[in-house]
Structure 1
Amino acid sequence: MVALAVFSLAVLALLRLETATIRGATTLDDSLIAGLVARNVANDAITEAQPPVAGRTAGSEVNGGRAWNWVRNVRATGNASIVRIDVAVTNPAGQIVGRTVAIRPADTPQ
């Protein structure tokens, strides 16, 4: 009887560990894909022919079979020839799970 009780405690501990591992893997997957989405949005802003307009822009895209919402905030820096691009990506629950920051010239060379 005692051996069975000890064995059941060990099994419960292993189940709890497995649950934590699966939860951690899901969180890692979310942050990895959200990071890719954030970098894609930032790279689009960097590679456009014209610099992005200062201010806030929002959108969504599908990546990894899931919908992701993003917000891009373009603002001036201390250097007038450079703009800062902040991108935040949220999951369907509205939690920010990915971010990135990029810079680019404020205007295109002539």
Structure 2
Amino acid sequence: MSEALRIGTWNLDSRCQPAHVDFLLNLDCDVLLLTEVSPRLEVPGYDKVLTAEVMVRGQHWAGVFSRLPLEPLPEPHPASAAARIDGQVFCSSVLPWRGCGSDEPWGSGTHAVDA
């Protein structure tokens, strides 16, 4: 890696208004690891890779956006997007949550932990 990269993350919850794009641009990040990404989201100056699978409302599970050239990598999981950027691998992922159940893409069993 030639220099330090500025990395940002955000769960967009499928939001895609001009104010959201402006917020992302104002972060001035080289790489954005986003989750619940609207298929309409375009961030000027950024290349992107999105998960092939989509959630119930049609948003992609995750995406990797970069101002630097990116090489899409195979998805490590249906809820994860991955890319190689400047020699480093970046992965954006939605993790299972307490009430996600065992539907796709989580598989059988429970993900809840009793404390």
> Which one has more relative contact order, counting CA pairs under 8 Å at least 6 apart?
1
The structure with the larger Rg is 1
TM-score by length of structure 1 reads 0.31
TM-score by length of structure 2 reads 0.30
More helix by share: 1
